[in-house]
C-alpha cells in the first residue's frame, strides 16, 4: 500500500498532457491549498514553455523526467490512446493517478489500469467532471427519491481542432452515459445507437437511446456539427420536470401539475463553483485519506463499456460498481 504524505506535508502533483484540459489542470492545481504543482510534461516544448512561464512550475519533455522529479500523484490529460501506458507507468512507481475520461481507449485496457492500481494500493480516479458541475448536482438533488421516467441530454458544439483519436461518443457522450447511470442508480440494459461521420474520420454525430435496468428511458444527442456549444439536461419524473443548462447553470423545476394543464415553476438554487476545482479537490482528499474517489475505476470502466457498445464493439461482461440512487453505495 502506497503511503500518502501527512496532512502537514504538501502533496506534490504533476500533470502530463498540456492541451486545453491539461492546462486547466495545471492552473487549478497551482492554486489548491496543500498542493504543490511539482511539474508538467508534454513533448511539445512550446506548450511546456507556455505553462511554466505562467505558473512558475518545472517543465519536462517526458513522463519519466516528471516522475523522476518526485511526485505523489499525477493527472493524465494526454490523448486517449496514451492513457494506459502513462497510467501503468505511474502506478508501477506507486504514484496516485487521476485519468481524464475515458479511462482508456478499450475496455480491456481499462481493466488493466484498475487491476494495477488495486495491486499497488494507489488511488485511481476517473475525470468525469460533470458530476462536479453545480447544475448537475442541483438536478440530482431535485430528483432524489422521485420515480425517474426519462432523461434527455444534449451535448453539441463545433469540431475541436486538436481532436484526432476519438469521436463524439467517447469524447462527449461518455459524460452523459455516466450521468444517466449516476442519476438513476441503475445500469444501462438496452442500447439503440445511431452514428454517422460527416466531416471527421470518426463519428461526429450520434443519437443514442437507452433503457436502464430500472426502466428509465434515456436519450443523448451529441455532435461536432453545431456552430455553438450547448449542454442541456431534461429529466421527467413522476411528479416533476427538471430542465438544466450546464453552461449557464440555470436549473428550472416544473411541478404541482393540475388537471387543467397548469403547473407551478421555480428556479432552483445552484452553487457557484468551478467543476474542475471541485474534482481535483476531491482527488486530493481521496489521496490523503485513502477513501474511495467519487468516480473510481469501476465507474469509468462501466461508462466506457457502454460507449464502446454504442460503437458496435462487444466485450465480456464487466464487474459493475454497486450503485444506489444518485451515486455509489
Mean pLDDT of 177-183: 98
Q: Is there a single domain that holds both residue 141 and residue 122?
A: no
**247-264 per-position pLDDT tens digit:** 999 999 999 999 999 999
Would residue 307 count as lying in a domain? no
Do both 115 and 199 map to the same domain?
no
Average pLDDT over residues 206-232: 97
Tell me how far apart the alpha carbons of residues 79 and 100 are, in angstroms, rounded to a whole number. Answer: 9
**Residue 282 domain-assigned (yes or no):** yes
37-81 pLDDT, tens digit each = 999 999 999 999 999 999 999 999 999 999 999 999 999 999 999
Q: State which H helix or E strand residue 266 sits in.
A: strand 264-267
How high is the mean pLDDT of the chain? Answer: 92
What range does the domain containing 184 cover? 130-273
Whether 325 shows a pLDDT value over 50: the answer reads: no
Give the number of domains in the chain. Answer: 2
**pTM, entire model:** 0.90
Please give the sequence-ordered ranges of beta strands (E in DSSP) within 42-92, or none if there are none: 59-60, 73-76
Q: Please compute the mean of the pLDDT values over residues 306-317 and round it to a whole number.
A: 76
* CB-CB contact of 202 with 136 (8 Å): no
- 91 and 184 inside one domain: no
Q: What pLDDT was estimated at residue 163?
A: 61
Which pLDDT value is given to residue 319? 44
CB burial of residue 164 (10 Å; 0-12, 13-18, 19+): exposed
**Mean pLDDT, residues 270-276 taken together:** 94
Q: What is the CATH number of the domain that holds 136?
A: 3.30.360.10
Which residues make Cβ contacts (< 8 Å) with residue 237, sequence separation at least 6?
Answer: 143, 146, 147, 148, 149
262 within a domain of the structure (yes/no): yes
Which CATH number covers residue 23? Answer: 3.40.50.720
Q: Is 292 helix (H, G, I), strand (E, B) or coil?
A: coil
Residue 89 lies in a domain: yes
Q: What are phi and psi of 230, to 5 degrees?
A: -140, 140
| Residue 67 domain-assigned (yes or no) | yes
SS3 240: strand
Residue 5 domain-assigned? no
Q: What is the pLDDT of residues 292-302, one digit of tens each?
A: 999 999 999 99
Please tell me whether residues 137 and 102 are part of one structural domain. no
**257 and 160 together in one domain:** yes
pLDDT band at 234 (very low <50, low <70, confident <90, very high): very high
Could you write out the DSSP letters of every residue in 89-130? Answer: HHHHTT-EEEEESSS-SSHHHHHHHHHHHHHHT--EEEE-GG
Distance, CA of 304 to CA of 105 (rounded, Å): 8
Amino acid at each position: 500500500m502506497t503511503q500518502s504524505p501527512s496532512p502537514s506535508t504538501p502533496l506534490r502533483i504533476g500533470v502530463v498532457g498540456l492541451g486545453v484540459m491539461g492546462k486547466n489542470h495545471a492552473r487549478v492545481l497551482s492554486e489548491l491549498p496543500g498542493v504543490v504543482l511539482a511539474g508538467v510534461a508534454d513533448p511539445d516544448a512550446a506548450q511546456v514553455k507556455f505553462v511554466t512561464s505562467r505558473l512558475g512550475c518545472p517543465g519536462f519533455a517526458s513522463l519519466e523526467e516528471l516522475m523522476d522529479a518526485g511526485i505523489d500523484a499525477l493527472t493524465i490529460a494526454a490523448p486517449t490512446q496514451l492513457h494506459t501506458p502513462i497510467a501503468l507507468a505511474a502506478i508501477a512507481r506507486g504514484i496516485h493517478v487521476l485519468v481524464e475520461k475515458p479511462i482508456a481507449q478499450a475496455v480491456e485496457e481499462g481493466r488493466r489500469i484498475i487491476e494495477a492500481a488495486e495491486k499497488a494500493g494507489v488511488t485511481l480516479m476517473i475525470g468525469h467532471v460533470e458530476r462536479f458541475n453545480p447544475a448537475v448536482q442541483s438536478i440530482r438533488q431535485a430528483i432524489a427519491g422521485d420515480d425517474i421516467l426519462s432523461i434527455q441530454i444534449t451535448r453539441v458544439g463545433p469540431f475541436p481542432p486538436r481532436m484526432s483519436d476519438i469521436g463524439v461518443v467517447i469524447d462527449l457522450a461518455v459524460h452523459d452515459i455516466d450521468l444517466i447511470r449516476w442519476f438513476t442508480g441503475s445500469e444501462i440494459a438496452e442500447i439503440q445507437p445511431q452514428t454517422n461521420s460527416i466531416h471527421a474520420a470518426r463519428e461526429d454525430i450520434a443519437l443514442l437511446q437507452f433503457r436502464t435496468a430500472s426502466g428509465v428511458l434515456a436519450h443523448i444527442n451529441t455532435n461536432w456539427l453545431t456552430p455553438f456549444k450547448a449542454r442541456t439536461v431534461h429529466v421527467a419524473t413522476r411528479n416533476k420536470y427538471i430542465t438544466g443548462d450546464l453552461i449557464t447553470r440555470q436549473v428550472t423545476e416544473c411541478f404541482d401539475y393540475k388537471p387543467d394543464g397548469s403547473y407551478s415553476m421555480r428556479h432552483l438554487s445552484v452553487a457557484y463553483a468551478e467543476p474542475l476545482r471541485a474534482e481535483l479537490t476531491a482527488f486530493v482528499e481521496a489521496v490523503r485519506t485513502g477513501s474511495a474517489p467519487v468516480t473510481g475505476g469501476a465507474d469509468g470502466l462501466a461508462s466506457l463499456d457502454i460507449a464502446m457498445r454504442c460503437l458496435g464493439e462487444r466485450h465480456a461482461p464487466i464487474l459493475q460498481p454497486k450503485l444506489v440512487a444518485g451515486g455509489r453505495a
